Structure 1
Amino acid sequence: MSGPSDIEEVVHEVEEAVVKVARSRGLPKAIVAVCVIIAIVLSGLLLATRYGVLLPQGRHLIEARANDLKLGRFGRLNIEGLSGDVWRHFALRRLTISDEKGVWLEARNLNVSWHYAELLQRRLHAESITAQQVTILRRPTLTPKQKSRGLPVSFDIDLIKARLELQPAFSYRRGVYDVTGNLDVQRRGRGQRGRISAASVLHAGDHLNLQFDLGKNLPLLLVADAHEARGGALAGALGLPADQPFDLKARADGKMSSGKLAAVATFGGAKPLEMRGAWTPEGGQASGRLDLTASTLTRKLSGRLGPEALFVITGARAEPGLYALSARVQSANLTVLAKGKGNLGERRTGPKGLALTLDTANLSKISGGPQMGPARAVGILTGTADDARFVGTAAVDRLKLGSYGLDRISGPVQLTRKAGVLSVKGQASGAGGQGTGVLAAILGAKPSASFDAQRLADGRLSLRDLEATGAGLKVQASGGRGLIGGLNFKGRAEVSNLAAARTGAKGSASATWSATQGGPGKPWTLSADAKGAGFASGFAELDRLLGASPSLSAKGNIQDGKISLASAELNGAAVKATSAGVLENGALKFKLDWSADGPFRAGPVEITGKARGSGAITGTLAEPRADLLADFDALDVPRLPLEAAHMTLTCMRRPDGSSGLVTLAATSEYGPAVGKAAFRFPQGGVDLSDVAIDAGGLKASGALALRRSTPSSADLKIMLSKGAFLEAGQVTGAVKIIDASGGPRASLNLRAVNAVLPGSRVAISTGQLTADGPLDRLPYAADAKGASSNAAWAFNGKGVISQTRPGYAIAFDGMGRYGSRDLRTLETA
């Protein structure tokens, strides 16, 4: 049969057979008819499977099923223009692999010739895979590594041929290569061998040749030869400088019991890699050096470990099947020592195991997270690669969490690995705990914990037991695996001793939680409830809102790094808040609603009645964005009470500080009141720009910067007219502050015309106030005249406004007139 036309021919033959059988009187017609119908169905299924994919509809179906297919850590697949016989020889017009940033690999005019029947033997055999052009646009953003189960089938590719282009975003310099090779990878980690050759199209003579044979129980072979006379994309792909001569020579060959290895890489005059070794049935040695600062791929590692890593491994036959081994791996911040009897070829230790010691001068550099000082782990490693056990002790000095610190935390630890399951069991006891705040109050001087956890063969984590105690903390949790493969984890935590955390704090709080997972690949379903008893935080306004018995409940699930919050609800004496949303791949999508009963204060402003609002939290964990809406029944601003106030707040966090925009609209007895400002929070202060206020007769615009609650710069224009701050008249002017080398300097120019303060019997017919100088001792001059209910008045003079703690001191020297009387200061007032 050669194609879809054969389908019609076979179906026609089967139809004729049905007619003949139906006319037969030798068998019951019903039975025969059923059998023939089954034959038709089976024939149709077979032919549809083999030839259906040759039809356009079949190829479109394959494209649809293949598109958006996840390729492990590397992203998702997309194919276009499928043609040919999918079961023998097919072509793709375009193939791409994309991550969250878009396409990072593109292949055009891809052709594959293969033997589908060999899949029955768990072997994918391709005679050739060729591509007109393969382009690597940039480095992919790899997702977290998952547990590998090994390849389900073996791969055997007789010929690989393609034109490969490396873009500068991947290799710092553009490179174009003609690539040929072959590959044979056995399933379930049973070995691999192959050959890859890449010849530069842009620079004749530049090349990469790679040959390897790493099969089990076979002679070892690894040969690598790379050369770029003036640097290029090969060096750039390795993270090395792409503008300097680059060479790589590496060779390892021999049997697993006897062989040698040598490797050296150079760029310019540097040697970032040097390795040399040899081994025989009587023993051997290997040593090497790796410059971690040379490549951008290892530069982050150099920040953790140090500029370079050295290793030395030696072994000598000690007894049948075992060698006396000694190994040392050393960098500036990590030293690993191993000594004992074992067999590297068979990947097993002797009966007494290997003595392991790990030392670091700064654990937080390696692990990240909280500040930690020197750390040390000592123990014995026994067993094989598939059944290993480590028993020892670990200690960490100078652990610091915010304002709380421990002199030392130490205890026994046990690690086992068997049948793909990694188990960790241990105890930790703290000493010398001290500090301030909540952690110091609940953990105290000698906190302790015990734990028992597993990483299952399918990559899931199972926390079987957890206990923790402190001066005001008690945690008990347990979990395990169910009969049908599900996991569960539940527990309870109690917090007390809050009075030691802060003046005014008291009471206790408790929380319970449960988490379940139906099976591999299914989401974790979580629920948590927390409640206070006689609770007080020590913050008066917060305690008024929460009351003595606040409660919090939340429900959600976690799957593949995606956290979905179905609901979260906080209930207090005078506040209620709810939230829901999703955190996926670092992206935030949460909504929230809240309401509160006044009165409560925010600086000089008192909020009375009810307050309510809604909003959303979006952006990413690194750069979150909050868009909040709030409505207040009343805002008691000094001299300007506001009602029906509506506020919007947008806040975004950036690497150089948070920034955003705030607006406020309300009503007052003087008419509408509006205000807005853009803000930014650099370290140690706040910057306000695009300030615009129009409320109660006050109009202000400009910018202002505060550092440590003190103005460091300002450029404001002000106009006061009849309203909350003047009964009549007008005051206009400008205020400027600049950040000078000797400290902030200010200039001030205010003019008043027929100004009358609220409730005053004094009117300023004309007045001017000017100032120019250092902000901490600001010289000023004043000149004003006006009238009171009794007589006319006038004065002019000068002085200094000085900063004091707290407040300001004003000194004045001058003269004036009240009615017919002349006045003069005899000394500074």
Structure 2
Amino acid sequence: MKRVLPLTAGLLLPVALIAQDTENTDRDRSMIVGFLEDNLSGAGRDIRIEGFKGLLSSTATMEELTIADETGVWFTLRNAELDWSRTALLAGRVEVTRIAAEEILFERLPETTDEGIDVPDPEATPFALPDLPVSIDIGAIEAERVRLGAPVLKLGEAVELSLTGSAKLADGSGETNLQIERIDSKEGQFAVVVSYDNDSDVLDLDISLNEGAGGLISTLGNLPGSPPLSLTAQGAGPLVDFTADIALATHGEDRLTGQIALRADPDPDAPADTAAPRRFSADLSGDLTPLFSADYAQFFGPSSTLTAAGVSYPEGGFELDRFALSTRTLSLVGSTTIGADGWPSAFSVSGTLESPDDRPVLLPFGESRSMVQQADIVAKYDVTRGQSWSANIDVSDYAQDGLTIASARIGAQGTITQQSTATSTALGAIKARFGLTVQGLASDDPALQASIGDAPALTGEVYWREGEPFLIQSLEARTDATRASASGQINGFDTGFEFTGTLGLDTPDLSRFAALSGLDLAGATSATAKGSISPLNGTFDIEAEATGTDLRTGIEQLDALIGGSSDIRLSAKRDETGMTLRPSTLKTAALDVSANGALKTDTGALNLTARLDDVSRLGVALSGPLTLEAEMAHSGADSPWNTRAVMNGPGGSTATLSGTLAQDMAQADLDLTGSAPLGLSNRLTSAALTQGTSTFNLGINGPLALSSVSGQVQVTPGGRIVISSAGLALTVNRAVATLNGEQAQLDFDASADTGGSITASGQVGLSGALPVDLTVGLNTLGLSDPQLYETSIDGDLSIAGSLTGAANISGALTLGETNITIASAGLGSGGDIPDILHRGAASGVTQTRDRAGLIQTDSGGGSSAVYGLDVTVAAPNQIFVRGRGLDAELGGRIRVRGTTADVIPVGQFSLIRGRLSLLGKRITMEEGSITLQGELDPILYLVAETETDTLTVQLITEGPLSAPELTLSSSPELPDDEILAQLLFGKDLSEMSALQAAQMADAVATLAGGGSGLVGSIRDSFGLDDLDLQTTEEGASSLKVGKYISDSLYTDVSIDNEGKSEINLNFDATDNITLKGSASSDGDTGVGVFFERDY
């Protein structure tokens, strides 16, 4: 509402547009209306005017004015008319014959808007009172319909009114007539008729309010049940004999009645033309309990009274002989004498708040329920008895929601020194010492209790002499956790009540405020400030210092900057010429910042330097110092800031920002250039290791938003990217990201060390859902794992949609010649190495294990974006699988569907031809395939089948490509060792010679490649304690068998496929001494004695 009235007045009383040209032309709309709309509109205040005519004449009309914000129109004024005298303004008068409107619709309060950074003027503005016209005469005010929407008064329903009236004020006399009536479904009238004639000293007062149940006043006042309400204040007559009757009623019954009276009290001995003193009195009483909820009935009781009587003197000053306020629980009486100079020569106040039944009293004010057992007030001063004065308020057993106080006292005492002259008695000086003491404060909130303790206190001493500043000799507030102090002086109204002095704050243990702030606070702070500040003028001149010791907030990045010793020094000034920031600093063990500058409306300059010892303190995976130097300056009231900033960071990274920035920070024209080594990203992720240099050349032109950014970020050709998980090392030929508004155009080309290249091009959005449209090209790209495969890929992939989760990956890939090697391994029976628990591992060791994928981490239940899949992988032939005697060729097509979280492969690579070689036997492959599972882990399935005189044998290689397993089956069914014996030698296992056993071991080594299934079965069949089958790098195989002959005697025999053999004997003579001997088929022998001890 405070915005609507000035806007309406500004439109209907356009003083600035007085002119003698009274022609109503179309230019009113094109020039004046446009001017008003543009200049009165603002953020959240879009003003539109229709049908505006006659602004330059004595009668102006307007069909409609609307004010809207982002959600729509919230104020409408229709069919407004202003009939006024323009020339009267030249004489200092506002003369309006008629101001009227057919409808005023105030539907809701405007939405709160964020109008950006509201930069105050650097210059301070001296305080001044408004200058009003000499006289006002408004003949008629009319509004046929005024609608206040439900949100305006927060009543739950709209209110509709009509309004008529008039007003006149001139030469000390005036009259007002205002009639307001509800025109909706509720009853309500409000009338004000007031006039005063300065010459006759006659006052005519007639104020009345009548409304039915659920009325505006009773609802706003929260009267129980919103009863019908009436209020009258009526009186007429000269002020030497004036009485006003006052009555307040609900449901037709008086609740408060009484009179206010003024009477002349002439001195019979005074000359006839001497102005007489006037006596005044007030006597109001009634039962107020129906006006409050039943909870407050105990406070008021059935009768509440207010009486007052006194006399005022024509030369100034008055005596209040008697003042009394009484309810069931409250008794307050007092008197005072105030001289013509406005200062007291005596006062006396005493009062008690206490329930007659000794129960706590519920106080009828405040937003929360407050109760007190007893409160007493005593204040007294009498100049005839000396200069001393005193005042005390004592409260016992105070309680409100969640807070109790056992006792509290506000005490003050001092002196009032008067200086008498021949003509008057003037106040010389007043001195006061005061204090607030609290005992037994207890809060249900442990955080509040910890911060203030149970006995906070406030003490102070002040002094004031007439015509001099108000002195604060001392002021101190203490709690268990902190101490605040102030001393200085407050100057007069002409300085805007400027305070000059010193402020202090000491908090030795910030942890007392941890729970209250919600932060893990710790450490100690101390701060002082000295200088001056004027709250009305907005001027200040301050020197401030603050120190901190071992500060902590629980915010990791901030704590890393403020730990240890910290020091802040601020020196600033603001006056009518502008604002000055003298050299100011912030220093901690990690951070060193300094700034200075000066601001005026037409000029300004700011300088800033900062140094951070290590950026890793900010929680990023980078290390090294960071420095910043920045300067800003402008040379005109509307000119932008010329800005330049230079940053030097870790690894030789640099950035320079230069250009202009609007004073309200709404528009910018900035260039950002620099470079950074790609190796910095290696500290952020191990998914890809990079080497080289990146450069950027960006511009920001427009609002400070991503849509205003343009330019390029590129990698210098020759940069390296190594993706260890894919065995891929790339050399960058071209890598450019071109930013244009809210999207980036990507262009990437890199060659692979394994042959071929990879390209990428397209657009990526930089805001919202991050829309993407990329094409990735694989050009005979070589991929290999020395232990498993070697291949090349051709084809294109398309990534389109949203990177936040609605993208799809599609395309067609073709595999070139692909060689898959089934790894061979020793067949000892030791099994897998168990998991190793690393204790106290150095950071370098942990980082290496992490990059090698040996550290499993819990994702914490988080989810990443899921993309759709539609990729075809084709290889018509030339997928070769070799190793462990296998030699197979496969081909086919696989289509990968589903999503990255749920891969659904369709199709397989099927066997074209193949064989299995085993001890010179070539067994033909009958069937085979390579398929994909959900995790894109290829599954190998190959079946070789052959027949002997007595058996049909199948050898099945099946499992993950990196670790397939061999299974044997036969018809008729036999154990695995018997199947091999029959397949290789055509005889039972028991009939085999040692050499044949070695040959079978070689076959098993060829087939199994790892694991202990077959080996373990053969070992158990022969009753051996150890059976080890090994294959050398040259392809030779050997068999070693071992057996305990007794508990202390162990022997083993080794035979290779060339018939060479060796025997070893171990004899444990004692727990620490072992005798060893050996002999080979070459004639070599050996013997030794070994001493062993565990420690």
Please classify the TM superposition score into its range, dividing by the shorter chain length: 0.3 to 0.5
TM-score (norm 2): 0.38
TM-score (norm 1): 0.48
Larger RCO: 1 or 2 (CA < 8 Å, sep 6+): 2
Larger Rg: 2
Is the strand fraction higher in 1 or 2?
1
